[in-house]
């Protein structure tokens, strides 16, 4: 009694005639497995929102780690660009950095980031999550890289995409640990 595996040409198939439960139960079980598999393997988009530039990062297919993707200008076309990226890369959820002051209060960027999240949710029809972005830009500047020795003053490299990757990786790590 139970599932009896048989092998036809291809994948493992189970005979359902000897199951103690009916086909509707099996359909629900298969649907839940597919949903669970999709949630485990979907890609995420990380966003480091700024008043002039927006850093973007993409997760791997397993949703384990974020990688810098690119930096775009914060313009009226930002929503369109994000929706196009969501469709092109098959993004299942977006993680936006939650900007706060050092005292923990909300700063002016946070309000705009929340508005961006609401608009993207409506337009792209994907869930949006918020993750703390405290010191992510500073941490991204400290990441090891090829340093050129020079006496010229150091310029801050474009770190927005790296900061978005840190925000995304922080969120994904919290989700896996939960």
Domain boundaries, the chain: 4-39, 42-177
pLDDT at 176: 83
- The pTM (predicted TM-score) of the whole model is 0.69
Residue with tokens 């900061």: 163
The closest alpha carbon to 74, from 53, 48, 57, belongs to: 53
Query: How long, in residues, is the chain?
Result: 178
Which pLDDT belongs to residue 9? 43
Q: Is the pLDDT of residue 143 over 70?
A: no
pLDDT for 66-96, tens place per residue? 999 999 999 999 999 999 999 999 999 999 9
HSE of 115 in the Cβ direction (CA atoms, 13 Å)?
9
What burial class does residue 141 get, using C-beta atoms within 10 Å of its C-beta: 0-12 exposed, 13-18 middle, 19+ buried? Answer: middle
Which burial class, exposed, middle or buried, applies to 19 when counting CB atoms under 10 A from its CB (0-12, 13-18, 19+)?
A: middle
pLDDT of residue 137: 58
* Structural domain 42-177, CATH architecture: 2-Layer Sandwich (3.30)
User: Each residue of 18-53: pLDDT tens digit?
Assistant: 555 555 665 665 656 555 555 556 899 999 999 999
| DSSP E strand boundaries for the chain | 4-7, 12-15, 43-49, 53-59, 66-73, 91-98, 128-132
């Amino acid at each position: 009694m139970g599932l009896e595996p048989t092998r036809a040409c291809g994948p493992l198939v189970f005979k359902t005639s000897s199951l103690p439960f009916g086909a509707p139960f099996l359909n629900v079980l298969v649907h839940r497995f597919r949903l669970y598999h999709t949630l485990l393997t979907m890609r995420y988009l990380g966003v480091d929102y700024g008043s002039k530039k927006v850093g973007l990062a993409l997760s791997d297919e397993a949703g384990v780690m974020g990688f810098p993707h690119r930096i775009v200008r914060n313009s009226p076309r930002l929503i369109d660009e994000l929706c196009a990226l969501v469709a092109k890369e098959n993004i299942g959820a977006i993680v936006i950095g939650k900007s706060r002051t050092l005292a923990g209060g909300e700063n002016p960027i946070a309000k705009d980031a929340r508005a961006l999240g609401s608009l993207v949710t409506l337009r792209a029809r994907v869930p949006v999550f918020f993750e703390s972005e405290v010191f992510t830009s500073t941490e991204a500047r400290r990441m090891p890289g090829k340093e050129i020795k020079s006496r010229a003053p150091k310029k801050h490299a474009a770190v927005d995409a790296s900061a978005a990757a840190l925000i995304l990786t922080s969120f994904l790590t919290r989700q896996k640990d939960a």
